[in-house]
């Protein structure tokens, strides 16, 4: 039988994450939205607490750093809920509090997830405790990540990196950036590797921070690399250019991070649904689960439809995380979860603004902010259109050259 309750071993971490969201993130949400680029100093204490929980072995972190594929343990029949599941569950709670603040959590960046996904044991130890952003996007390359132009040339014991990266989340604040660069542009996707570049490395410059529609408490940086020398041990994964294997190494990260972004959308949408339900109740609109939708008010029917969409996104997100925890290939499910949750998150938060009327649109409530914050969750880590493309390729068994 399928059990959809929160696994017992994660109830503690989920409750803790919810408490933090309610008592620390939500109360600071509007303030850091209005003071874009101001560092949310409250997060330092929170990050220390999350580190403490991780060190005590009680949880796997409230963010990306906790995510790592299940190691083979020789017991193929044993199913488990591991760090992917605990991360998506706690991220949902934290994003019920505030998405931008969750993205600003020290040591919980998307670069940390990349390190957790593909680093070897020695690198895991060396980069433990580092806060890492992730730099893939360039001025001429977004959705088509195979066309990146940043180069990494081996010179003695170092790689020399040259190029420009844009829209790097936590790029200004993180201690290190995981940079995607090509070893040989003529070799195509197979030559794209990721490198951990520490912030103090000469040749790496944070050029500017961008102003944005939403997640304003999260900094988004443009970073330039000019003859930036990185020890060759900082390449994550296999340094060989294996054209037979293609993009597999670096792309593996997305199978772990897309469910996390889906979880952010699910958490933010739940916040909007909960507030809308109470605004509707104040206005005398009753949502009745025992009566057919067509005999209820239009507002109640809309609410019920949003809730069912939300439930589908939630379940797809859990499925993608569960598969990752159990060592099962989950690229299809990760993209399905991201596509569904990203779209549903945008729809729900915007329709909640609509149902709230002037209360929804004004800054009296956080509804308008959640509508702005959720938009990015349908864009970064692969847009809605790109997720649909990946799903179609997988279902139709087409290559990226056959279906683009």
Ligand X SMILES: Cc1cc2nc3c(=O)[nH]c(=O)nc-3n(C[C@H](O)[C@H](O)[C@H](O)COP(=O)(O)OP(=O)(O)OC[C@H]3O[C@@H](n4cnc5c(N)ncnc54)[C@H](O)[C@@H]3O)c2cc1C
**Positions marked active-site:** 381
Using the minimum distance from each CB to ligand X, give the nearer residue, 82 or 173.
Answer: 173
Q: 3-class SS at 193? A: strand
Using the minimum distance from each CB to ligand X, give the nearer residue, 82 or 133.
Answer: 133
Q: Which stretch binds ligand X (CB under 6 A): 29-37, 131-139, 154-162, 183-191?
A: 131-139
Close Cβ partners of 157 (under 8 Å, ≥ 6 residues apart): 231, 232
Q: Can you list the pairs that 353-359 forms with residues at least 24 positions away whose Cβ atoms lie under 8 Å?
A: 355/276, 355/279, 355/280, 355/299, 355/302, 355/303, 356/275, 356/276, 356/279, 359/279
Binding of ligand X by 312 (CB under 6 A): no
Binding of ligand X by 380 (CB under 6 A): yes
Spatial contact of 85 and 66, defined as CB atoms under 8 Å apart:
no
- Taking CB under 6 A as the criterion, the residue among 236, 389, 390, 391 binding ligand X is 389
What are the backbone angles phi and psi of residue 82, rounded to the nearest 5°? -120, -145
Q: Which stretch binds ligand X (CB under 6 A): 164-172, 312-320, 352-360, 361-369?
A: 164-172
Which x/- pattern over 87-126 shows residues binding ligand X (rule: CB under 6 A)? -----------------------x----------------
Structure tokens belonging to residue 369: 């902010």
H-helix segments, 283-330: 298-325
Give the torsion sign (CA, 84, 90, 93, 94).
negative
Using the minimum distance from each CB to ligand X, give the nearer residue, 68 or 258.
Answer: 258
Binding of ligand X by 404 (CB under 6 A): yes
- Taking CB under 6 A as the criterion, the residue among 35, 143, 205, 308 binding ligand X is 143
- Taking CB under 6 A as the criterion, the residue among 19, 238, 243, 385 binding ligand X is 385
Spatial contact of 355 and 302, defined as CB atoms under 8 Å apart:
yes
Using the minimum distance from each CB to ligand X, give the nearer residue, 362 or 385.
Answer: 385
| Burial of 186 from C-beta contacts in 10 A (0-12 / 13-18 / 19+) | exposed
Enumerate binding residues for ligand X (CB under 6 A): 110, 133-137, 142-143, 167-169, 212, 215, 220, 376, 379-380, 383, 385-386, 389, 404
């Amino acid at each position: 039988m399928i059990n959809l309750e929160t696994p017992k071993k994660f109830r503690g971490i989920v409750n803790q994450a919810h408490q933090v969201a309610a008592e620390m993130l939500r109360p600071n949400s509007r303030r850091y939205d209005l003071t874009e680029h101001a560092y949310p100093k409250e997060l330092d204490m929170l990050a220390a607490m999350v580190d403490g929980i991780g060190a005590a072995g009680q949880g796997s972190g409230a963010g990306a750093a906790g995510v790592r594929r299940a190691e083979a343990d020789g017991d193929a029949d044993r199913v488990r809920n591991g760090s992917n599941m605990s991360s998506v569950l706690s991220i949902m709670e934290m994003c019920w509090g505030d998405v931008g603040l969750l993205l600003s959590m020290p040591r919980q960046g998307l670069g940390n997830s990349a390190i957790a996904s593909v680093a070897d044991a020695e690198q895991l130890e060396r980069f433990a405790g580092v806060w890492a952003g992730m730099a893939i996007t360039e001025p001429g390359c977004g959705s088509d990540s195979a066309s990146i132009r940043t180069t990494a040339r081996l010179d003695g014991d170092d790689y020399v990196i040259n190029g420009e990266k844009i829209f790097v989340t936590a790029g200004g604040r993180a201690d290190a950036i995981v940079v995607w660069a090509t070893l040989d542009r003529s070799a195509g996707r197979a030559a794209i590797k990721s490198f951990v570049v520490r912030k103090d490395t000469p040749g790496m410059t944070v050029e500017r921070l961008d102003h944005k529609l939403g997640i304003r408490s999260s900094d988004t940086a443009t970073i330039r690399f000019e003859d930036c020398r990185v020890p060759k041990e900082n390449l994550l994964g296999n340094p060989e250019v294996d054209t037979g294997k293609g993009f597999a190494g670096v792309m593996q990260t997305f199978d772990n991070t897309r469910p996390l972004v889906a979880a952010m959308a699910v958490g933010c949408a739940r916040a909007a649904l909960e507030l809308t339900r109470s605004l509707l109740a104040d206005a005398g609109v009753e949502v009745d689960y025992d009566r057919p939708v067509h005999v209820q008010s239009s507002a109640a029917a809309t609410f019920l439809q949003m809730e069912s969409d939300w439930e589908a996104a939630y379940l797809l997100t859990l499925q993608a995380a569960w598969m990752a925890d159990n060592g099962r290939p989950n690229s299809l499910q990760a993209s399905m979860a991201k596509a569904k949750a990203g779209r549903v998150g945008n729809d729900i938060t915007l329709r909640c603004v609509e149902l709230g009327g002037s209360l929804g649109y004004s800054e009296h409530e956080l509804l308008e902010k959640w509508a702005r914050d959720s938009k990015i969750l349908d864009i970064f880590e692969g847009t809605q259109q790109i997720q649909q493309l990946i799903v179609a390729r997988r279902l139709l068994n087409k290559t990226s050259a056959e279906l683009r």
